[in-house]
A and B are shown apart, each in its own frame.
Chain A
Amino acid sequence: GAVVSQHPSRVICKSGTSVKIECRSLDFQATTMFWYRQFPKQSLMLMATSNEGSKATYEQGVEKDKFLINHASLTLSTLTVTSAHPEDSSFYICSASQGMRAGGSSYEQYFGPGTRLTVT
């Protein structure tokens, strides 16, 4: 159980174009999804948190107009990198959680396999 998929696994795009990455929870309903960015040999950097049916909350320094997040259903969130540039090349990872238990503790986050974006 608790499987999260991402599509595509790798994408190469030209500078100035937009790229959409999908994140799906396959066997559970994800009230909350997270998007991370990871540079080589570095830790995961949280970009934004999205709750189903509401606007995403972006971390400081992350351009919301550049990284569009849509959490359209309890099993799907998308990240669109608009007008991509070479500096956007990175490994993008999503995670999904059932949200909060009654009493306030969080459910575990389950991570997708990641998407390698290369902008040429």
Chain B
Amino acid sequence: QQQVKQSPQSLIVQKGGISIINCAYENTAFDYFPWYQQFPGKGPALLIAIRPDVSEKKEGRFTISFNKSAKQFSLHIMDSQPGDSATYFCAASKTGANNLFFGTGTRLTVIP
């Protein structure tokens, strides 16, 4: 059973546009929601993370929006660049547990 559902599977965005990736979860015990960026042949790198006590977190061009009542969170990449082309994974975990539950990934392609 997929604990975290992610969409879309793939996304093509023009340079300068906004990339939006969505995730949804069922387990209300989850209280940590990170996003990872992975380039081909490399391990995932932590991009940005949020806890449910805030509804939004922004770091540079990357913003996480969090909707606790809907059990959804999303990643927004502003002014998308070709260098942002990668696979993005959302994840979730809960206090007292070490392991992360990953979404299925979104392959982002930013066209010049």
Contact = CB atoms under 8 A, between A and B. Distances in A.
Interface residues of B, number: 24
Contacts, number: 58
B20 interface: no
Interface residues of A, number: 28
A97 B104 CA distance: 22
A42 B31 contact: no
A114 B98 contact: no
B44 A108 contact: no
Interface stretch (A11-19, A68-76, A99-107): A99-107
B28 interface: no
Given A49-B98, A93-B44, 18 more contacts: A4-B43, A6-B43, A34-B98, A44-B44, A44-B89, A46-B99, A46-B100, A95-B43, A99-B98, A103-B95, A104-B95, A105-B95, A106-B97, A106-B98, A108-B46, A111-B36, A111-B45, A111-B46
Interface of A: 4, 6, 32, 34, 41-44, 46, 49, 91, 93, 95, 97, 99-100, 103-106, 108-114, 116
